[in-house]
Amino acid sequence: MRGARLGWSLLAAAFAGCDKPPAAPAPVSMSSTEPLPDASPRDAWEARRRAWLAGDAKAVWESLCAASREEKLRTQERAMDEMRRLEDDSLARALNPYGLEASKFRRMTAEEFCLYMIGGASQVAAPVQARMKAQVFVSADIQGRTAICTIASTDGSSDILVLVAERGSWKVDDAATARMRGGAPRK
For residues 10 and 82, is the Cβ–Cβ distance under 8 A?
yes
Number of H helices, E strands in the chain: 9, 4
Among the ranges given (18-22, 61-65, 103-107, 153-157), the one the predictor scored with the smallest mean pLDDT: 18-22
Q: Mean per-residue pLDDT for 49-73?
A: 92
What does the alpha-carbon distance between residue 111 and residue 31 come to, in Å, rounded to a whole number? 29
Q: Mean per-residue pLDDT for 68-77?
A: 93
Check residue 65 and give its pLDDT. Answer: 96
Among the ranges given (39-48, 141-150, 172-181), the one the predictor scored with the smallest mean pLDDT: 172-181
Check residue 121 and give its pLDDT. Answer: 60
